[in-house]
Amino acid sequence: MDKWILKFVLFLAKQLAGKGVDFERLRIITETKILMDRRRVYLNWRQKQQKENSNPLLITLLLYGLFGAFAAAIIMTMQSLMGGMIFIHSYLLFMMTMTMITDFSSVLLDTTDNQVILPRPVNSRTLFIARLVHILVYLLQFTIALALVPLIAIFFKYGSLTGMASIATMLLTVALAVFVTYLLYAFILRFSNEQKVKDIVGYFQVFMTVFFAVAFQVIPRLTDMNILSTEFHIHWYSYLLPPVWMAMLLESVHTHQLDLPHAVMSGMALSIPAITFWLMIRYLAPSFSRKLSALNNDSAGSKIAATALAQPKGLSEKLSAITCRSKTESAGFEMVWKITARDKGFKLQFYPSLAYLLVFIFVFVFKSGQDVQTLWQKLPGTKMFLFFVYLCILSIANSRIFVEFNENFLASWIYQSTPVLRPGEIISGGLKALLVKFYLPVYAILFSFGYYVWGNGIIDDFVLGFFNNILIFLVTASFTEHYLPFSRQTNTKQQSGRFAQVMLQMLIIAALVGLHYLVIQVDWLIYLLIPVSAAGCYFFLKRIQELPWIKISF
């Protein structure tokens, strides 16, 4: 699809750009950039195994098309035109802004042009148009993927006149999204350095991944949608919301009525994106490029950052002193603690898997179709608390696999050049860090919720569960392949090993949950099992600590 769009946009550019643009060079620059776009690893796709010559862009676009299908379904079921149109434009604005920030940021913030293209005989106008063409092609393919199915729905439901008008309003919305993104970047660049920008982009990426993970599970299950039938009323703040302008414009097109609010908002819908777009090309983009070209060689901002970052003894140092018995172990503890807080690769994988907790609660406990109120009242009488006891271990167990990987895995030479007698202690230190950092807080939250609903009676269950979860964690760690933290290449994830590991884990969890369920029937048994489980934890921790070098895989 991108080739056709490129041809189309290049054709337009040829008509409009006129003199001073070298078309052969324009074509080769944009073609190369689009080729690179295809090979870039996209956010939604990065967790999955990837073949060398697959086209991740296409899969991302298909995924967006699927989202578009959901949106189209909502338009079809929604009674009011206003509601549907506000929804679809908000959705487009949100998705395009997020896509621009998370995926396209690497292109917007790319400074390799400065080294690769600027030294070659290409004039600046050609380069500028090339950037513009590239951005347009990118935007158009995402817009088409997102909006094609909803547009068909609009044509079908509201007729071709409204359909045509909605093509215009959607393009205007995309223009606004571009402006918002540029404004955000310009703002961040104004106040900080390149590293900060990358960090902030990282946060957005984590947010987006979590959002996708949850949305995929929750949205299709929302069968009871009260919002669909609500009537729309204009408030003063409606004038501040771009999707409302677009919807108002479409409503007047559809009903052929034009009162004062409709006229004002339609005017805003047409003029504001145009004005902002002009502002952007005239002022924002040039200063943006200047800032970007300065990014590479400056280090002015970093001095302030250095003093700001200077920190006294951190939390991880204090905790490692409490939890670890040897220096090697505490080295592993602190390292895993710090890098899990900073490495984007880890955060992108772990936080979505933690977000699945919410999805599981949603699916298992609050099944759709049942009234939340009555469910809530029935809850204390059920044995549902077992869900809350054992729910988090799946996510936490994933974190153990994620810490084996790192983009910078080559740095693991350090383990081999230093006198590490028992590499198992590095692993056990890392496991302790994960337990303290992620398991304890999550379990505490789940316990608070359980205590609120079920009261004193479940304290002993949560105590047993506390040790059982750690036992599950340590047993799977002890019976699967052992890797030192951050020593594996990110792309070589072996699915086969993963599957066996998950199966083993499920088996142990099922056994322990089953046992726990039986124990609930006999009061005193639980006090016998708590020390047994705790002893099991101690035994397996020891086992991991004593792993010799020959048991470590690379």
Q: Tell me how far apart the alpha carbons of residues 515 and 510 are, in angstroms, rounded to a whole number.
A: 8
Contact characters 135-174, other proteins, x per CB under 8 A: ----------------------------------------
Residue 421 C-beta: closest distance to other proteins, Å: 5
Calculate the alpha carbon distances from 509 to 392, 463, 473 in Å: 11, 16, 10
CB nearer to other proteins: give 103 or 343: 343
Given the complex with other proteins, which of 124 and 296 has the nearer CB atom? 296
- Least distance to other proteins, CB of residue 114, Å: 17
Ramachandran area for residue 187 (φ above 0: left; ψ -120 to 50: alpha; else beta): alpha
Q: Which stretch binds other proteins (CB under 8 A): 73-81, 164-172, 272-280, 411-419?
A: 411-419
Residue nearer to other proteins on the CB measure, 235 or 342: 342
Q: Is 416 an interacting residue with respect to other proteins (CB under 8 A)?
A: yes
Single out the residue of 223, 297, 418, 496 in contact with other proteins (rule: CB under 8 A): 418
DSSP state of 281: I
Which amino acid, residue 245? W
Of the candidate residues 281, 372, 411, 535, the single one contacting other proteins (CB under 8 A)? 411
Instruction: Tell me if 390 contacts other proteins by CB under 8 A.
Output: no
Per CB under 8 A, the segment of 132-140, 417-425, 436-444, 452-460 that binds other proteins is 417-425
Cβ-contact 76, 157 below 8 angstroms: yes
* Nearest distance from C-beta of residue 442 to other proteins, angstroms: 23
We find the least distance from the C-beta atom of residue 48 to other proteins, in angstroms, to be 24
CB-based contact 234:380 (threshold 8 Å)? no
For 480, list phi and psi in degrees, rounded to 5.
-105, 180
Sole binder of other proteins in the list 260, 300, 410, 522 (CB under 8 A)? 410
At 179 the three-state DSSP class reads: helix
Burial of residue 458, with CB atoms counted within 10 A of its CB: 0-12 exposed, 13-18 middle, 19 or more buried:
buried
User: Using CB under 8 A, which of the segments 12-20, 59-67, 413-421, 523-531 binds other proteins?
Assistant: 413-421
Residue 415 is a binding residue for other proteins (CB under 8 A): yes
Nearest to 139 by CA among 116, 173, 188: 173
Nearest distance from C-beta of residue 486 to other proteins, angstroms: 7
Closest CB 97 distance from other proteins, rounded Å: 27
With beta carbons less than 8 A apart as the criterion, state whether 266 and 245 touch: yes
For residue 321, give Cα distances in angstroms to 318, 330, 333.
5, 7, 10
Q: How far apart are alpha carbons 163 and 153 in whole angstroms?
A: 9
**Contact map string, positions 271 to 310, toward other proteins, x by CB under 8 A:** ----------------------------x--xx-xx--xx
Q: How far apart are CA 205 and CA 277, in angstroms?
A: 25
Name 155's Cβ contacts closer than 8 Å, sequence gap at least 6. 163
Residue 419 in the binding site for other proteins (CB under 8 A): yes
Identify the sign of the CA torsion 416, 418, 421, 424: negative
Q: Tell me phi and psi for residue 273, to 5 degrees.
A: -60, -40
Helix, strand, coil shares of the chain, percent, nearest 5, are: 80, 0, 20
Which window, 215-223, 263-271, 410-418, 494-502, contacts other proteins (CB under 8 A)? Answer: 410-418
Of 22 and 317, the one with the shorter C-beta distance to other proteins is 317
Residue 414, interface with other proteins (CB under 8 A)?
Answer: yes
The one among 486, 501, 512, 545 contacting other proteins by CB under 8 A: 486
115 binds other proteins (CB under 8 A): no
C-beta closer to other proteins: residue 295 or 363: 295
Q: How many residues in the shown chain lie near other proteins by CB under 8 A?
A: 35
* Residue 489 CB, nearest approach to other proteins (Å): 12
Of the two residues 522 and 550, which places its CB atom closer to other proteins in the complex? 550
Min dist CB 306 to other proteins, Å, is: 5
Cβ 347 to other proteins shortest distance, Å: 11
Q: Which is nearer to other proteins, 195 or 382 (CB)?
A: 195
Of 11, 23, 364, 413, the residue at the interface with other proteins (CB under 8 A) is 413
Site mask for other proteins (CB under 8 A), range 306-345, x = bound: x--xxx-----x---------xx-xx--xx--xx--xx--
Distance set, CA 283 to CA 12, 113, 123, 177 (Å):
23, 21, 20, 17
Q: Kindly write out the interface string for residues 167-206 of this chain, putting x where it contacts other proteins by CB under 8 A and - elsewhere.
A: ---------------------------xx-----------
Which pair of tokens denotes residue 224?
């009871």
Least Å distance between CB 425 and other proteins?
10
φ/ψ bin of 378: left (φ > 0), alpha (ψ from -120 to 50), beta (otherwise): alpha
The per-residue DSSP string of 372-435 comes to HHHHHHHGGGSSTHHHHHHTHHHHHHHHHHHTTB-TTGGGGHHHHHS--S-THHHHHHHHHHHI
**Is the separation of the CB atoms in 239 and 265 below 8 Å?**
yes
Site for other proteins, rule CB under 8 A: 194-195, 299, 302-303, 305-306, 309-311, 317, 327-328, 330-331, 334-335, 338-339, 342-343, 406, 408, 410-411, 413-421, 486
